[in-house]
Amino acid sequence: MHTYDELTQRIATACLDYAIERLRMDPVPLDGPLPFAKLADQAGRTITREGREPEDVVREFADVLAPACISTDSPRFVSFIPAAPTKASLLFDLVVGASSVCGTSWLEGAGAIYAENEALQVLADAAGLPPGAGGCFVSGGSIGNLSALAVARDSAAAARGSRPDRWRVAVGEETHSSVASALRLLDVDALVIASDEHDRLTGTALRAALAGDADPSSVCAVVATSGTTNAGIVDDLAGVADVAREAKIWFHVDGAYGAAALLAPSARARFSGIEHADSFVVDPHKWLFAPFDSCALLYREPARAKAVHAQDASYLDAIHEGDEWNPADYAFHLTRRTRGLPFWFSLAVHGTDAYSAAVETTLASARHAARQIEAADHAELVREPELSIVLFRRPGWSEADYASWSERLLRDQIALCLATRWKGEMVARVVFLHPECPDTFIDELLATMI
Ligand SMILES: Cc1ncc(COP(=O)(O)O)c(C=O)c1O
């Protein structure tokens, strides 16, 4: 099982051949889920006492199990937040898997952590964080937000020397659901700040809410979103940063989806103020062309995170003897895959200019879609896209019409395109994250709505 024997060679051939077959698919089929009973019928019991021929198991995966998974990397997957990993990042993910590097501590993974940290530096520089900023890669925006908000709360307690009965964190109306979950886990309440007429959290509204609050000292942080998930709206980061500084509260920016557009010159100005963040997250597995799962979590002053997250156990003393960088110290995790490496490798191979160009391409797709929607007689643009998410309605359609439209699109393998709710109304939502989405895609989609 552990030596590179003849069986291993057969496994390698079967797995690598399939990986290359999958990477060569052009276009990759959209595919889709099957009901459990159908899958059970087709796949049956896959694990036996005596084991099976590797070629048979890989073929079963390729022919039965994989097609029952939607290809999130298809340009036709335009719901939730899709994925568009580069071939370089996917191939290097195989290398990461084959290498068994542990990314917990410098002692174990120095070389890999050096490379991950360079990739983090690209993002810290794009945001304009000061020298010394740093963090680690975690599995996703949810754990990134949770880890950052734990630091925000505990830093406030340490700085103020006292704790209120209940800590609170100011959030916007469109803040991602993972922040609400994180606050629940941290036993912290949300102070929800009303959005402005452009559906953004603003510094003005935050200042007014704090001024009118009976207990403003219980607010330890504010979360601004740089690219809401439903509509791609960027909050007033500069205004919120000012108020956070005045009120001495932690400024966290959730850029899990949208902060990728920091790399796009045409969108950069929208992020003005992010350079003041005490912490921020961006997911390379969303709009930075990396495979699942990877979220870059960055702190302005990483020592604060270390004070909260470094785990204390005698068997871990060795990793804390020097002052080397241990990614485990900066989030709620210990053992970790070096999940930043596929992103690093792809950045190293393609260069950052290619990333800027790819994000620009997707922004252009969203703008093009908005114009096509405006030109169509049977569709209406809900709001001008700020980033790469486009909301539009089909006047006259009920919720059931949207649902059956989505079902039809998937059945006919045209798209995975689900509706969402915007201000109480059911509307269509398309997320452009794939640089190879053809210009004709939106026309094809609109034609299915007539
Ligand atoms: C703005 C925002 N924050 C946080 C998250 C959660 O990220 P993840 O799914 O990687 O945990 C998402 C996911 O879509 C998001 O869009």
**Which CATH number do you get for residue 175?**
3.40.640.10
Together in a domain, 392 and 344 = no
**344-348 average pLDDT score:** 98
Rounded (5°) CA angle 214-215-220: 145
What is the number of structural domains in the chain?
Answer: 3
* Predicted pLDDT of residue 63: 98
Together in a domain, 330 and 364 = no
**417-431 average pLDDT score:** 98
Together in a domain, 265 and 379 = no
pLDDT at 1 over 90: no
Q: Is 422 near ligand 1, meaning CB less than 6 Å away?
A: no
Tell how far the Cα of 154 is from the centroid of ligand 1, in angstroms.
23
Residue 314's domain comprises 94-350
* Predicted pLDDT of residue 161: 87
Q: Is 255 near ligand 1, meaning CB less than 6 Å away?
A: no
Of all protein residues, the one whose alpha carbon is nearest to atom 16 of ligand 1 is 229
pLDDT at 54 over 90: yes
7-49 confidence digits (pLDDT tens)? 999 999 999 999 999 999 999 999 999 999 999 999 999 999 9
Tell how far the Cα of 80 is from the centroid of ligand 1, in angstroms.
10
For residue 43 the two structure tokens come to 């796949």
Together in a domain, 381 and 423 = yes
pTM over 0.85: yes
* Predicted pLDDT of residue 256: 98
User: Could you tell me if 58 and 315 are in contact, meaning their C-beta atoms sit under 8 angstroms apart?
Assistant: no
Together in a domain, 346 and 376 = no
Backbone angles phi, psi at 345, to 5 degrees: -60, -45
User: Could you tell me if 131 and 275 are in contact, meaning their C-beta atoms sit under 8 angstroms apart?
Assistant: no
Q: What is the DSSP string of 150-195?
A: HHHHHHHHHHHS---SS-EEEEETT--HHHHHHHHHHT-EEEEEPP
404 inside domain: yes
Together in a domain, 345 and 361 = no
Cα within 13 Å of Cα(337), Cβ side: 18
**170-176 average pLDDT score:** 98
Of all protein residues, the one whose alpha carbon is nearest to atom 5 of ligand 1 is 141
Q: Is 446 helix (H, G, I), strand (E, B) or coil?
A: helix
Tell how far the Cα of 143 is from the centroid of ligand 1, in angstroms.
9
Question: How confident is residue 2, by pLDDT bands cut at 50, 70 and 90?
Answer: confident
Pick from 246, 211, 220, 225: which is nearest to 168 by CA?
220
Tell how far the Cα of 233 is from the centroid of ligand 1, in angstroms.
14
222 inside domain: yes
pLDDT at 184 over 90: yes
* Predicted pLDDT of residue 386: 98
**351-377 average pLDDT score:** 98
**72, 139, 142, 225: which to mutate for ligand 1, most atoms within 8 A of CB?**
142
Q: Is 236 near ligand 1, meaning CB less than 6 Å away?
A: no
Tell how far the Cα of 141 is from the centroid of ligand 1, in angstroms.
5
